[in-house]
Amino acid sequence: MEQLSLLIVMVAALIIPLVMARFKISSVPTAVAEIVTGIVLGKSLFNIVLPNATLNMMSTMGVIMLMFLSGMEINFDLFRKQPGAAPNLQSPVNLAGQAFGLVIATAGILGIILNRIGLFSDIFLATILFSTVALGVVIATLKEKEILGRPAGQTILLTAVLGEVVPMLALTIYASINGGNAGRLWLIVLLFLAAFFLLKRFKQPFIWFNKISKATTQLDIRLAFFLMFILVTIAEQVGAENILGAFLAGMVMKLLEPTENTQEKLTSIGYGFLIPFFFIMTGVRLNIKQLFANPRALALIPILVACFILAKLPTVLVFRRRFSPRNSFAGGFLTVTTITLVLPALQVARNLHAITSTQSDAFVLAAVIVCIIGPIVFNSVYKLDKSDLIKQRVVILGANTLTVPIAQQLSKNWYVIRMVTDNEENYKTFNSEVNDLAYLPKIDETTLDKGNFFDTDILVASFRNDRKNTRLAQLAKKRGVSRVIASQQNPNVDHERIDELVARGVEIFNAFNVETSVLRSMIESPSIIELLSDTEAGLFEVVVRNQRYAGQELHTLPFIDKITVSRIYRNHKPISPHGDTIIELGDHILFTGNHLDAETARNELRRKN
């Protein structure tokens, strides 16, 4: 019977997405469908899946993997200062912090109200339960909506992270105090110290791992599971929840900067195998029949559902500071989703005799109800708008007749351009020509850091002085700028200096080489110059970030008839594309097409989800 239950769950995990695709069910996230399927298969209805040691182990592995991947989804660049001297009060980090602060306050008020009317006596526990957010369900919903990497998605994600981590820590404190182990609370610090130690220990070796990893070793995946299990073990030993250890392990793995391919493999293992066990078994363990047989529990359920919703509605007020009212309401309603932490919290409360079985059953069903309706409302209401578009940040050092026209052209597209000059005359000349031009009498690491000019996606050093550009490019790489372009225009080029820059990952721009290449192209292939100078069409490049297209053949792209792919660069090696070429995350695709179709293709392929 144990093997049969395992087989049924695995078959259900396979059939659920197929059925949803067949009947075009898009408003319900797969995670919610898996919970509902578990309810149907479990003791609530057919009772054909019985919890056993194997399924319980797989379910535990699933929630651990879910929390690990949740930690890996955090974009730590959001915690860096954004361009501009003043703090950005509408950044995802600030919005999420303000939103969850209101959630905690509202949850506490609701706990006090329930205490005063005699429905629930433990205010601290009620605050924990009402403030929790099902991070796994939120991430799954945002992934399927393909907005996880967008500002709205990151704001909702960070709010959900706080709604998982803060109640998780509060639950640990609650259990320690009420269980008589308050003296052991300080041991949780050891968990965070262990995470920090592992990050420092593997930061450099991880780069080496990627170089020596083979198909038969998969060192990156082995390291991921090592981090996961060592921090989960430490968490359990110090009295914290194992999901906190898994979440910290995911954050450590993210900070090690794994490749797109590594992240894709871990996501495949999680959502393709382990995580469905957790969601299905969550439904299996519920006993809806027993709940409906208890009139007092039934009477309490609508009150608790209302409390779960009311506790999260203040997030809508905060989200409206940046996003449309429609999307703010959808995002706020998604944070209503809660189940992951409610179950262990109720188990802790039952062990401490702080809650009755009637109250516990009512909380469980209320959590299931909001877990179902929250994502459905979000998927039905949320619509993409301009605030979801992520512009690349570009800093250009040097304002002159070459860089100013480029800044003007890029500003019309999806780029935020900031320019810097140390020439007062040039500042007066070009200040009215570009949106953001700063004058710095002296340009060095201190002044650039003070102006937050290193907080950018691309930095271009384009002064007339090659050595100055070299020094600034090296500074930018030292400060962690991912792409740095340095102008080197001296005809008597110093090859040793160029080689050093290239070795540091700096891209070199040399006008002489460009002019030579263009003239040769005009002689050998006259149409190329027409393509490069055409205002209706052009040559474009995009890095594949959208997981939807990873593993697909080139000819299956929905917009392939609108563009012509000329070359694919994978791991810095060129590939001649064919219709059956398999696309991988991180591929650099060069293609031609008109600007409108090209922008559609670029937005679709580079969208992180």
Pick 259 or 229 by higher pLDDT.
Answer: 229
Taking the C-alpha atoms of residue 248 and residue 241, their distance in angstroms, rounded to an integer, is 11
pLDDT, mean over the chain: 84
Higher pLDDT, 32 or 322: 322
pLDDT tens-digit readout, 61-98: 998 998 898 888 777 766 655 444 345 557 788 899 99
Instruction: Give the model's pLDDT for residue 451.
Output: 87
Q: How many CB atoms lie within 10 A of CB 177?
A: 13
Q: Give the pair of three-digit tokens for residue 92.
A: 């995802």
Query: What's the confidence (pLDDT) of residue 416?
Result: 85
Confidence (pLDDT) at 609: 62
SS3 content of the chain, % helix, strand, coil (to 5): 65, 10, 30
Distances (CA, A) of 161 to 96, 136, 506: 9, 10, 36
Q: How far apart are CA 31 and CA 371, in angstroms?
A: 10
Q: b vs e for 438-465, b when ≥16 Cβ sit within 10 Å of the residue's Cβ? A: bebeebeeeebeebbbbbbbbbbbbbee
* Mean pLDDT of the region 100-121: 93
According to the model, what pLDDT value does residue 101 have? 95
Range in 69-73, 77-81, 229-233, 459-463 with the lowest mean pLDDT? 77-81
**Least confident interval from 153-157, 290-294, 301-305, 450-454:** 290-294
In this prediction, residue 509 carries a pLDDT of 86
Number of residues that make up the chain: 609
With beta carbons less than 8 A apart as the criterion, state whether 569 and 588 touch: yes
Are 38 and 282 within 8 A, CB to CB? yes
Confidence band for 412, pLDDT divided at 50, 70 and 90: low
Residue 240, pLDDT > 80, answer: no
Share of the chain above pLDDT 90, in %: 29
Q: How far is CA 322 from CA 76, 104, 316, 390, in A?
A: 20, 21, 11, 14
Is the CB of residue 144 less than 8 Å from the CB of residue 30? yes
The pLDDT score that the predictor gives to residue 15 is 95
What confidence category does residue 22 fall into, taking pLDDT thresholds of 50, 70 and 90? confident
- What is the reported pLDDT for 86? 42
Please give the structure tokens belonging to residue 312: 């999260």
pLDDT exceeds 80 at position 277: yes
Q: What structural domains and CATH numbers belong to the chain?
A: 2-76+90-388 (1.20.1530.20), 392-518 (3.40.50.720), 534-606 (3.30.70.1450)
Provide the pLDDT for residue 226: 94
- Answer whether 108's CB lies under 8 Å from 127's CB: yes
pLDDT digits (tens, 9 = 90+) for 50-61: 999 999 999 999
pLDDT tens digits, one per residue of 162-208: 998 898 888 878 877 876 666 677 788 898 899 999 988 887 776 66
Q: Per-residue pLDDT tens for 502-553?
A: 888 888 888 777 667 667 767 766 666 565 555 556 678 888 888 778 778 8
pLDDT score for 503: 83
* 258-285 average pLDDT score: 88
Burial call 119-142: b when 16+ CB within 10 Å, e when fewer: bbebbbbbbbbbbbbbbbbbbbbb
Q: Which residue has the higher pLDDT, 606 or 81?
A: 606
Quick check: 417 and 435 in contact, CB under 8 A? yes
CA 240, chain centre distance (Å): 25
At 253, the pLDDT band (50, 70, 90 cuts) reads very high
pLDDT at 114: 92
